[in-house]
Amino acid sequence: MGSTTKHFRTCNLCEAMCGIEITLEDNAITSIKGDPQDSFSRGHICPKALALKDLYEDPDRIRAPMEKVNGQWRELSWEQALDKVTARITSLQAEHGNDALGVYLGNPNVHNTGSLLMSGGMLRALKTRNKFSATSVDQLPHHIVSWKLFGHQLRIPVPDIDNSDYFLMFGANPLASNGSIMSVADVKQRLKDVRKRGKVVVVDPRRTLTADMADAHHFVRPGTDVLVLLAMLHVLFAEGLVSTGNLAKHLDQGPMSLADSFSEYTPERVAPLTGMSADLIRSLVRDFCAAKAPVMYGRLGVSVQEFGTLSQYLIMLFNILTGRLDSVGGLMFAKPAVDILAQSGRGNMGRFHSRVRGLPEFNGELPVATLAEEITTPGAGQIKGMLLMAGNPVLSTPNGEQLDRAFKGLDLLVAIDFYINESSRHADFILPPVSPLEREHYDVIFNVLAVRNNARYAEALFPRKANARHDWEILLGLRDRLQPARGLKDKLGRQLLRRAGPSGLLALLLRQGPYGGGLNLFKGLSLAKLKKSPHGIDLGALKPALPGALFHRDRKIHLEAEFFLNDVARVEAKFFNSSTAPDQLLLIGRRDVRSNNSWLHNSHRLVKGKDRCTALINPLDAQRLAIADGDLVRVTSRVGSVELAAHISDEMMLGVISIPHGWGHNLSGTQWQTAQDHAGVSVNDLTDEMQIDELSGNAVLNGVPVTLSLVAATAALSA
Ligand SMILES: Nc1nc2c(c(=O)[nH]1)N[C@H]1C(S)=C(S)[C@@H](COP(=O)(O)OP(=O)(O)OC[C@H]3O[C@@H](n4cnc5c(=O)[nH]c(N)nc54)[C@H](O)[C@@H]3O)O[C@H]1N2
Ligand SMILES: Nc1nc2c(c(=O)[nH]1)N[C@H]1C(S)=C(S)[C@@H](COP(=O)(O)OP(=O)(O)OC[C@H]3O[C@@H](n4cnc5c(=O)[nH]c(N)nc54)[C@H](O)[C@@H]3O)O[C@H]1N2
Ligand code: SF4
Ligand SMILES: [Mo]
């Protein structure tokens, strides 16, 4: 008889932090289930959790460092690989300057405890200003709003979903995404509970799964949320509904002076542009204000549009002016056990600008929409080499095709990744870390954004093999070579850090954190206690946290009207002084619960079945263009065109088309067999790198103008 063991941990694949129970028989995974005893997720799980097993077992996963020589991959030892990469980076920077090396950090870094806690020194050792990340195709507006208003880019409040009775949601589909900037496992049940107390209302150009279960769903024309929000603030002032309540004492200025900014934006004026009637906009405000514990939440659909930052500001302002920030059932600040805010930069903006287009840095990073031109435009400071860490920007950033060509022309590309993806296929070196189950896990970031305070830690399920490396070990290995220790103290410090590893740092941070015992080793939350609590420790509901949560020296919320509301001039120019071509459709994205950005398509169980990379269009648009369900259509934008099957559905707003991102696995040289069989096309071959939210530099991925035409009818295709 073989041995059966159970292992409990949190799934690190998305922001929901589900507790899972993994069963091992003779050291092989036989099941992954939701852990009903988990203090946070109460047994919830989604189909992606099983991909953790697939990732671990995947024969396509790279397990040894590799170098491409004359177009052929060959394996290296870790010593050889790290030495060679260091030599190449050093000579590149010696010849062309430090900024000639660009870095791109992808999304999985924030789901990786070791990378989060240990990468700082390595990034500094690279001495380059050309740092980019997935932040600027995602949540950059949220950081800017929190940095300006609360004094720290990570001081982001989240909906207190468990106590809310009116949940007004713009541009989010948590039933597919499992929640974002709102870590909330089991979101479906939690939204059902909101409905029992009151209402869930969704504003989205598509009737999504979330919209389907809501009390009301309203179509909005992509990219016009800013107009709806300006009008909602207009109504708030015009109808005397501003009521900051307890928040008043925390504001740096009286809010009534802001009224003028919204005076022009009557619901009647914006209605024809947004597709939402004036009556509807008024009723949204009135219903919100009539509820006991309402909250307004806006997420990715709002962030990645032309007025993403202004829109996120207006959502925050609306919550503030109705007294819904730091209030039970409103937007609240979490109190995580690891106070990562104390350990990280508060934010900074515009200290330098990108070389070619002059876009501002935020927190030391430049907008990724400018990456390709920084590689292809000659001159001092041109990027000649790239380090990709857990990212796939060819599929995930605007005008991916152009970036793909740019990567091809680089002198050096190094990827820290366990797959050869559409971006790392151009690499000279691949440095593969272990897969998620081979490392310890604690959610350092997502507990900052959790709807309930809690702490969970899991050790590696499988110890890493002797010839494998953790991400953090790769990073330290490169750092030690690029910037050798200076003096004995530095040397000892580095040895200590390496020996401590992520869990050593975590133990310290938990002790120093708000629930830790500090110097008293017998008191408070500690790593040892977490190790003895496989289902995690619940640290209670979110609690009001002002003014302590604020980082500004005066301990006030800064309304920063000038910085944000100056952008209204751009709104005026865009919507009221220009016209759009009549035959254009607006393109938006979409997420599916069985997909995760660009990288889980190598798991057969997640990609099998119906093709999910389709163009969703409204029946009337289809009729006008003589397109039938299943027909092959061509979608064209300023930057490119793609061909894929159309799927006709009245879940789409008229004039809007939706294509999911993360597909397009038909490029040669990648190393994922299954994904290639379910290739799809990349929507980011349509999104436009020149279309950005000018206030932040964030990419515009929703509301991209495209045209649509029939390539071949299904009948012809099957003939
Ligand atoms: N059009 C459109 N584009 C979008 C979006 C959209 O909605 N529409 N969404 C955007 C958003 S929100 C995001 S976050 C980005 C994501 O964009 P990226 O972060 O660029 O891409 P991912 O698809 O997450 O690719 C992650 C890579 O990391 C590797 N990886 C996974 N785990 C680890 C690990 O632990 N260590 C290392 N070293 N590597 C690992 C995977 O193998 C994969 O190759 O895409 C953005 N792009
Ligand atoms: N299954 C799955 N889960 C994921 C991911 C994944 O790829 N797959 N990715 C993870 C990541 S990195 C992130 S950042 C989160 C994102 O999580 P969410 O913020 O929930 O993002 P989406 O599911 O893309 O939902 C965005 C919604 O915005 C709508 N939308 C598009 N344009 C507009 C617009 O102009 N106005 C309005 N009001 N709405 C608009 C879209 O139709 C869509 O329903 O999901 C995470 N979770
Ligand atoms: S929702 Fe799915 S992918 Fe996200 S943490 Fe839970 S099980 Fe993992
Ligand atoms: Mo994201």
Q: What is the CATH number of the domain that holds 420?
A: 3.40.50.740
Residue 80 lies in a domain: yes
Cα 543 from Cα 447, distance rounded (Å): 14
Q: What confidence score (pLDDT) does residue 578 get? A: 73
SS3 label, residue 646: strand
Q: What confidence score (pLDDT) does residue 582 get? A: 64
Domain total of the chain: 3
Do residues 709 and 625 touch, judged by C-beta distance below 8 A?
Answer: yes
pLDDT in tens, 556-606: 999 999 999 999 999 999 999 877 666 799 999 999 999 999 999 999 999
If one counts every other C-beta atom within 10 angstroms of the C-beta of residue 379, the result is: 7
**Average confidence score pLDDT of the chain:** 97
Residue 710 lies in a domain: yes
Please tell me if the CB atom of residue 13 comes closer than 6 angstroms to any atom of ligand 3.
yes
Q: Kindly state whether residues 306 and 160 are assigned to the same domain.
A: yes
SS3 label, residue 295: strand
Identify the nearest ligand to the CA of 180 by its number.
Answer: 2
Average pLDDT, stretch 445-471? 97
If one counts every other C-beta atom within 10 angstroms of the C-beta of residue 247, the result is: 21
pLDDT in tens, 479-529: 999 999 999 999 999 999 999 999 999 999 999 999 999 999 889 999 999
Domain assignment of residue 317, given as a range = 140-336+558-565
The protein residue whose alpha carbon is closest to atom 37 in ligand 2 is: 171
Do residues 40 and 456 touch, judged by C-beta distance below 8 A?
Answer: yes
**How many angstroms separate the alpha carbon of residue 597 from the centre of ligand 4?**
8
Bridge pairing between strands 585-588 and 101-105: unpaired
Is 126's pLDDT higher than 70?
Answer: yes
Is 53's pLDDT higher than 60?
Answer: yes
pTM equals: 0.98
Residue 520 lies in a domain: no
**How many angstroms separate the alpha carbon of residue 232 from the centre of ligand 2?**
23
Do residues 559 and 149 touch, judged by C-beta distance below 8 A?
Answer: yes
Q: Kindly state whether residues 294 and 394 are assigned to the same domain.
A: no
The protein residue whose alpha carbon is closest to atom 46 in ligand 2 is: 177
CATH assignment of the domain containing 219: 3.40.228.10
pLDDT in tens, 409-440: 999 999 999 999 999 999 999 999 999 999 99
386, 411, 435: which is the final residue of a domain? 435
Which of 535, 196, 132 has its CA nearest to residue 371? 132
SS3 label, residue 76: coil
Q: Kindly state whether residues 296 and 344 are assigned to the same domain.
A: no
* Ligand 1 atom closest to 111 (CA): 35
Cα 408 from Cα 5, distance rounded (Å): 47
Which of 652, 589, 588, 586 has its CA nearest to residue 619? 652
Block residue for tokens 């949220």: 142
Give the DSSP H/E element, type plus range, for residue 311.
Answer: helix 308-321
Residues 6+ apart with CB under 8 A from 515: 337, 455, 524, 525, 539
One DSSP character per residue, 241-267 reads ----GGGGGGBSS-GGGGGGGGTT--H
Average pLDDT, stretch 167-174? 98
Instruction: Give percent of the chain above pLDDT 70.
Output: 99
Residue 279 lies in a domain: yes
Average pLDDT, stretch 191-211? 98
Instruction: Give percent of the chain above pLDDT 90.
Output: 97
Q: What confidence score (pLDDT) does residue 581 get? A: 62
Q: Kindly state whether residues 277 and 265 are assigned to the same domain.
A: yes
408, 435, 462: which is the final residue of a domain? 435
Q: Kindly state whether residues 584 and 682 are assigned to the same domain.
A: yes
Q: Kindly state whether residues 273 and 332 are assigned to the same domain.
A: yes
Q: Kindly state whether residues 282 and 374 are assigned to the same domain.
A: no
Residue 35 lies in a domain: no
Cα 164 from Cα 166, distance rounded (Å): 6
HSE-up (13 A, CA, CB side) for residue 147: 19
Residue 473 lies in a domain: no
How far does the chain reach from its first CA to its final CA, in angstroms?
Answer: 56
One DSSP character per residue, 548-593 reads TT--STT-SB---HHHHHTTHHHHHHHHHS----TT-EEEE----T
CATH assignment of the domain containing 669: 2.40.40.20
Q: Kindly state whether residues 344 and 255 are assigned to the same domain.
A: no
Q: Kindly state whether residues 192 and 326 are assigned to the same domain.
A: yes
Cα 148 from Cα 426, distance rounded (Å): 39
Q: Kindly state whether residues 692 and 703 are assigned to the same domain.
A: yes
Cα 269 from Cα 276, distance rounded (Å): 11
Q: Kindly state whether residues 331 and 344 are assigned to the same domain.
A: no
Name the packing angle between helices 308-321 and 225-238 (round to 10°): 30
**How many angstroms separate the alpha carbon of residue 457 from the centre of ligand 4?**
23
Q: Output the ligand 1 site: residues, CB below 6 A.
A: 106-108, 112, 134, 137-138, 300, 389-393, 396, 416-419, 421, 433, 471, 589, 597-599, 661-662, 683-684, 687, 701
Residues 6+ apart with CB under 8 A from 252: 552, 554, 556, 557, 558, 559
Which of 12, 107, 177 gets mutated to test ligand 1 (max ligand atoms within 8 A of its CB)?
A: 107
**How many angstroms separate the alpha carbon of residue 489 from the centre of ligand 2?**
47
111: Cα separation from own chain's centroid: 11
Give the DSSP H/E element, type plus range, for residue 149.
Answer: helix 140-150
414, 435, 456: which is the final residue of a domain? 435
Residue 126 lies in a domain: yes
Q: Kindly state whether residues 168 and 308 are assigned to the same domain.
A: yes
pLDDT in tens, 54-87: 999 999 999 999 999 999 999 999 999 999 999 9
Q: What confidence score (pLDDT) does residue 2 get? A: 74
Average pLDDT, stretch 223-235? 98
Q: Which two tokens stand for residue 616?
A: 């969703």
Average pLDDT, stretch 166-179? 98
* Ligand 2 atom closest to 174 (CA): 20
Is 1's pLDDT higher than 60?
Answer: no
Residue 440 lies in a domain: no
Which of 61, 395, 591, 599 gets mutated to test ligand 1 (max ligand atoms within 8 A of its CB)?
A: 599
Which of 9, 14, 180 gets mutated to test ligand 3 (max ligand atoms within 8 A of its CB)?
A: 14
